[in-house]
Amino acid sequence: MINVPVGTKDILPSERPAWDYLCNIIHETFKAYGFGEIRTPVFEATELFSRGVGDTTDVVEKQMYTFEDKGGRSLTLRPEGTAGVVRSYIENGMASLPQPVKIFYDMPIYRYEKKQKGRYREFTQCGVELFGSSSATADVEVIAMVNTIFARLGISDIQLVINSIGCSHCRPAYNAMLKDYFKSNEDKICETCKGRLDRNPLRILDCKNPDCHSLADNCPKITDHLCPECAEHFEQVKAGLDALGIKYVVDPFVVRGLDYYSKTVFEFISTGIGSQGAVCAGGRYDGLVEILGGPHTPAVGFAMGIERMLLHMESCGLLDKICAPKPKLYIAAMGQQAVLEAERIAYALRTKGVYVETDIMSRSFKAQFKYADKIGAEYTLALGDNEIATGKANLKRMADGQAEETDLSTIVDKF
C-alpha cells in the first residue's frame, strides 16, 4: 500500500465544511478591508527566496524543497507567500497603481521540517500584503483585520504579542550589542547560532534550542535601542491598537523567522494547540520590494495558518455545529418511469443550484426512505407507478412528517 507522504494529510469530504466555513469568513473579512485576491505559482526561482527570505533563516537553510528542472533551472516550492507576491507586484508594474495596493492570498506552502501537532510539510496559509504606506495606521489596520476574523469566528482566547525590531538605521548598532553579548557566551549556544553570530545575530533570538532561548532572556532588548523614528512608529502602533480596544502584550523577543521584517512584528498566540501556538504572524517589511529589484516601497502584511486555526477552533468547540450540507430534497423512486421522472426533476433542481439526491443504488422503497433520513434530507418525494399515472405525488417535510400532494409539473417551482 502507498501511504500519504510524511508531513502531509488528506482533507476528507467530512472535514471540508469546516475549512469552507473558516476560509469564507477570512475571505469575506479581507474583502471588507478592500483586499483583492492573487494567485502566484506554486514554485518560483530559488533565488527569490534566498534573497527575499534571507539566507540565515531556518526556512532557507533547512526547510526548502528545491529541485532542478529539465532546463537546469533551480526552482523551489514556495516556503512562504510574501516573496512571490512581492515578485508579482514588481513584475506586473503594480507600483504604478494608486497606492496602497491591497492583496490577499490563499495558498499551499511547503517546508521540510519535523512533523508535529499543527505543523505539516504541506500546509495552507491565508495572508495579506499592503504595499505603499509607511504609516503606523497601516500596521494597525492589518492587525485589526486579524482581530475582526477572530471576532467573527467567536474566538476570544488568542493573545496578540507585538514588538518593534527597528530599521536599517538602528538595527546595526543593536546587532553589534547582540554579537558582543553572545560572543561572550559562545560556548553556551548551539552550532546553528554560532554560524549566525557574524551573519545575523538577531536570528539567535528566534532559536528554539532551550540553551539559546534561556541565554537570550538576559540579552539587550531591541525596544531599548530603537532610533527616534522607529520608537515613534511603535508608539503610534500601540496608540492605534489602544484606540480600537485591541489588547496586546509587548514582547522584545518576538523577531519573526524571516529576514525581511523591519519595525513592527506581531504574533497571535493560542495556548490550546501545543508548542506550535502561533496561528497568525506578520509585520512590516519596508525594504523587501527594493531587495527584489523594485522601487522603494513600504509594506506590511501577515499570514495565517489554516490547519492551526482549525485546531484552535476545535479546542474551543467551535467546529461542533459545522456539518456537511444536507439535501433539500430526496426523491425516492420505484419503477423504470418513476426513476426517469426522478432524474428529470433532480436535474431541473440541480440546474437551479438546489442540492437533490435520488436513488442510484437500486434500493427498496423502505431502504430509500431510511437513507433519506440518514443523510438528513429536508423533504422527500415518493414516485411510483401511481404517481406517474396521476402526475401527482406527496411532498413530505421530514422534520414533522407533514405531507402535501403536489403536481409533478410544478414541483421544481417549489424550491
pLDDT tens-digit map of 107-162? 999 999 887 777 899 999 999 999 999 999 999 999 999 999 999 999 988 999 99
What was the pLDDT predicted at 174? 87
pLDDT at 274 over 60: no
- In CATH terms, is domain 16-170+226-315 a member of 2.40.110.10? no
What was the pLDDT predicted at 45? 96
Closest CA to 82 of 288, 307, 290: 288
What was the pLDDT predicted at 257? 61
What was the pLDDT predicted at 323? 86
pLDDT at 210 over 90: no
In the block, residue with C-alpha cell 491598537: 241
Please name the residues in contact with 129: beta carbons below 8 A apart, sequence gap of 6 or more: 82, 85, 86, 89, 102, 103, 104, 105, 299, 300, 301
pLDDT at 249 over 80: yes
Closest CA to 408 of 337, 326, 357: 337
Least confident segment among 139-143, 215-219, 296-300: 215-219
Helices and strands: H and E segment counts in the chain: 14, 16
378-383: average pLDDT: 97
355-371 pLDDT, tens digit per residue, is 999 999 999 999 999 99
Q: Distance between CA 139 and CA 234 in Å, rounded?
A: 10
3-13: average pLDDT: 94
Q: What are the sequence ranges of the domains in the chain?
A: 16-170+226-315, 329-414
Least confident segment among 180-189, 263-272, 398-407: 180-189
What was the pLDDT predicted at 68? 96
For 313-322, which contacts have Cβ atoms below 8 Å and span 24 or more sequence positions? Answer: 313/18, 313/22, 313/153, 313/155, 315/270, 315/272, 315/273, 316/154, 316/155, 316/157, 316/272, 318/153, 318/154, 318/155, 319/18, 322/17, 322/18, 322/21
What was the pLDDT predicted at 272? 63
Whole-model pTM: value is 0.89
Q: Distance between CA 136 and CA 115 in Å, rounded?
A: 36
The C-alpha R_g of the chain, in whole angstroms, comes to 28
pLDDT-derived band at 62, boundaries 50, 70, 90: confident
Amino acid letter at 124?
Answer: T
Class for the domain spanning 329-414: alpha beta
Closest CA to 223 of 250, 247, 259: 250
In the block, residue with C-alpha cell 553570530: 197
Question: What's the whole-number average pLDDT of the chain?
Answer: 92
Percent of the chain scored above 90 by pLDDT?
73
